[in-house]
Chain A
């Protein structure tokens, strides 16, 4: 598309001039802008409050090839911050509307929307991107994308990460007037899983409190939602998006609150408690997304040093920003060189699946297994399960083309805080008694 050079006046000044505080391999020049526009491919995960901002910020920072993935449809409550959406868009897929709006406004940018779950995409899909920007509100989704990005990471024989296999991520999160932005360079800076303790699991009320000693409005609401609903509606599951269901929970909560003399049950609070609504405003999303987009631009061009590696923002009392340099978890299962498994060449795929189900560090159930892009076994859909079932009786060594050691990827379910969640792990397989295994650094493995 023809356009005047003036369009990128401001970006060019950043990329064409030398400076003091740049990355060591920064070489100013017009190629940088061209690289950014031609070769850089960025994936935006989430087209909500952060995602809308990220798409705008990246498109106006010189990125031209952008994909966006989101499984949600637009709701009225999004409109106070998700500025790419209008009232008449309610009900449409977020990813599609967001992509269209940014392309309408910024010429030359190409945004491909994906209206689906992140788990629906193959690993190949994710491997195409040079950088991934996360605008998510769930820990599980962050964990998943993090594992995907880390699965591409390869290590040399000294356990140093291979530069070209690093898939950088920028991640943002907000809650009210607070937020964080971080840079994850797998293998170099802590991955999401290394610092998972930053996101403590949500505390739930004990059921006995709800049933016997309620004290707060929230207790009354959760009683109606978690106990009374099932008692009354046998078999019918509660749907938080059904206004009639919500209304029922609300009126039951009011009754219970009156019974116990507890004040404060409102419809709004009922929605908040039941749907675990996190308050969200435009300004915080703008701040956090801008920080993430700026980091993405710096990572791609080297025009300045990058955030290292975790920024917190708090605007409640005055304005506080803080940068913390977290360190990697040495034995991280996700971004480390991978759990090392030593196997006999006779171990079949079936036996291998049993082994990883029992392995104390893994405890993986229902695994699907891929090796170098080749599917060895798939749990679902049934047609794929059937197609790959015959592999189960074959030795893994044969399925891995008789190499003495290599990495395979396993996608399965694991238990975390009593909840099952899907996860993706990288395993290093070494076959016993095969040449080349003597130079393997066994000390660093399992």
Chain B
């Protein structure tokens, strides 16, 4: 449809056509369509997920109209799942919207295999015993699970799945991959071909900082026993060296070089995070390994061999003051090196695939290319089973959080919310639901039985954003349990 490219324009600029295609193939199941659930799905329907299936066994009562926008007067007395489904469908006719009129708890008991048809299940306001059962069902069926709850002025969101791997993590700020202190022969040759002392002032002020820094880093190393500036004093001296080369104060390229001078001291080799990934036991691959881990195994070999301790070159060059010709040539040199690295990794991927008994061409070249370009930014997220979190809490972690000023309120909420869930499971009602017995309930949680629309919209927003990250396999989903603090907004993520 012509419309859809325009309709999704503002999000295509974020996750691209690949991300959008992943969304359009996703089948999402929502358990519980109160405000938290309805708001979560609203954001996903707008974004154009493939299908939604709403599971809720309740009928709409007058009370529901006060906090759920996906209902109106005409819904009263009707199936809540059906009504919410109708209003959500209105938002985007490209989405297949279905509903099942049954309580999520009963469905989990009666029909566990129901969930295996979905990409991802969103469980909202679900009681503790059902959450535990659902987590086991989803993990067995390899279906992603996200739990969201709103309680009064607080709430929580928790992802549960075995493992989520991200190639295209699109971090906000990431040091570019320029290899200024370790240039490969082609880059070296290009740098040597340029005279920093050009008498043409236009050329002088349009010599890219990459060239300036590679040259002067080399000069520095030659006069400092092969070492690059490391102390603060040396770094300042290096900047002075750069300043001394300027022939006019308006030379932006030299100012950029001074600003970027810290890049020549970038430590060689891979980051600790990437080190952990290539040394993960999953990088010892067999026929059951995912494509991601097969590529990690190849990456590990590459780093130890052709890479000389480095990951494949990313191949992109930030914009910098330069003559067009210098910049374009430099860009080509970076791209060519990246391409060479991709070929080396690809060869290793093919060999590994053969070794583990898979078709050598099973992983496409474009996937390998994307993997190499993002090799420094790979991310692996793993989540403890919810049952483990509940049954074997980590007292040391909790203790640490309790005495940390920034975390103590969030962890206090967490403990209270867990207590509320236990209470609900044991007494079959949420504390605070009846005014008369309020005193016997936990007085601190004055609003615990409440699903405020604004809080539900916040929690639903968080949950839907995490769903998008999980489905598009872009960006990094949150780790741990998100505890919303609607009192002063000092929300926290707890690793539990």
Contacts and interface: CB of A to CB of B under 8 A. Distances in A.
A317 B324 contact: no
B455 A79 contact: no
Given A291-B458, A319-B482, A214 B13 contact: no
A307 B489 contact: yes
Given A77-B9, A268-B13, A317-B475, A282 B42 contact: yes
A294 B90 contact: no
Interface in B118-175: 152-153, 169-172
Contacts of A9: 63, 66
A177 B328 contact: no
Contacts of A285: 461
| Chain A: number of interface residues, binned into ranges | 35 or more
B37 interface: no
Contact of B7 (A80, A262, A272): A80
Interface string A299-343: 000001111100100111111010100000000000000000000
A76 B6 contact: yes
Nearest to B157: A319
B470 to A, nearest CB: 12
Contacts of B458: 286-287, 290-291, 294
A56 interface: yes
Interface residues of B, number: 80
B468 interface: yes
Nearest to B2: A76
A80 B453 contact: no
B202 to A, nearest CB: 9
Contacts of A104: 72
B469 A315 contact: yes
B371 to A, nearest CB: 18
Contacts of B9: 77, 80, 268, 271, 277
Contact of A290 (B447, B457, B488): B457
A103 to B, nearest CB: 11
B446 interface: yes
B461 A290 contact: yes
B46 A176 contact: no
Interface string B422-463: 000000000010000010000010110111111101101110
B172 A80 contact: no
Q: Give the interface centre of A14, A79, A105 by most chain B CB atoms within 10 Å.
A: A79
A80 B91 CA distance: 9
A63 to B, nearest CB: 11
B72 A105 contact: yes
Interface of A: 3-4, 6-11, 13-14, 17-21, 53, 56-57, 60-61, 76-77, 79-81, 83, 86-87, 104-107, 176-178, 181, 209, 213-216, 260-262, 268, 271-272, 277, 279-287, 289-291, 293-294, 297, 304-308, 311, 314-319, 321, 323
Given A9-B66, A305-B487, A315-B475, 5 more contacts: A14-B446, A21-B487, A57-B453, A60-B66, A282-B464
Query: What 5 A-B pairs are tightest by C-beta distance, nearest first?
Result: A286-B461, A287-B461, A60-B453, A290-B458, A319-B478
Interface of B: 3, 6-14, 35, 39, 42-43, 46-48, 61-63, 65-69, 72-73, 90-92, 152-153, 169-172, 206, 319-324, 327-328, 432, 438, 444, 446-447, 449-455, 457-458, 460-462, 464-466, 468-469, 475-479, 482, 486-491, 493
14 contacts: A6-B61, A13-B152, A13-B447, A60-B35, A76-B6, A80-B8, A80-B11, A81-B11, A281-B43, A281-B468, A283-B47, A287-B457, A314-B172, A319-B462
